[in-house]
Amino acid sequence: MTILLRKGGIRESTGELDRLLQRDRALLFPTLEHQKSELLKPDYADRVEPVPSGWHPDSVTLRAWIEIQQVLPVTNLERALDLVPFLVWNDAFVRDRWHWKPDRPLYAILLRTYRLSPAQTIPFLPAYRGCRSRVEITPEITLDLLEPVIDDTAFPAIATALNRILRDDEC
């Protein structure tokens, strides 16, 4: 994962996404609700296993840690669609995200993603439920061995492409 498109979650308080974006590091928490394989590119669609609304596992396995490299507003639907080659989502998802809550800004978040080694399994707590951009994880997670998902030579090219696309958005 390199680029996220975010407007915030359904149950977030005002400013919660802004507070997330002020942090520069976070664990990626696996989510289960609202998965729709039809909004993913074909290479990823078969990885989704639909679950009933409200269902949650007894535990979750954390496999990735991210550093937020850049947060850029996306003010043009055409530029948002230009980001599709860098996303697991398809055009339909980007259009849905653009039109959902039109009063909220859409952000492209450039992430440097690392694999946790070893992956760590924690109990699923009630505080983790719902549509949120962030949750406080307990217990403490060990970040001893981190391996970048995209190597040091490929990552700068992605950052350059993102900036080129969104810089064109300002013209």
pLDDT tens-digit readout, 59-112: 999 999 999 898 888 989 999 999 999 999 999 999 999 999 888 889 898 999
Q: Domain boundaries in the chain? A: 3-169
Task: Give residue for tokens 């998902």.
Answer: 149
With b for 16 or more beta-carbon neighbours within 10 A and e for fewer, the 37-74 pattern comes to eebbeeeeeeeeeeeeeeeeeeebebbbbbebbebbeb
Report the C-alpha gap between 68 and 71 in whole angstroms: 8
Confirm if 68 and 75 have CB atoms less than 8 A apart.
Answer: no
pLDDT tens-digit readout, 5-20: 988 655 555 555 566 5
Task: Give residue for tokens 């994880």.
Answer: 137
Q: Is 92 left (phi over 0), alpha (psi -120 to 50) or beta?
A: alpha
- Lowest-confidence region among 14-28, 51-65, 116-130: 14-28
Evaluate the omega torsion of the peptide bond into residue 118 and state whether it is cis, within 30 degrees of 0.
yes
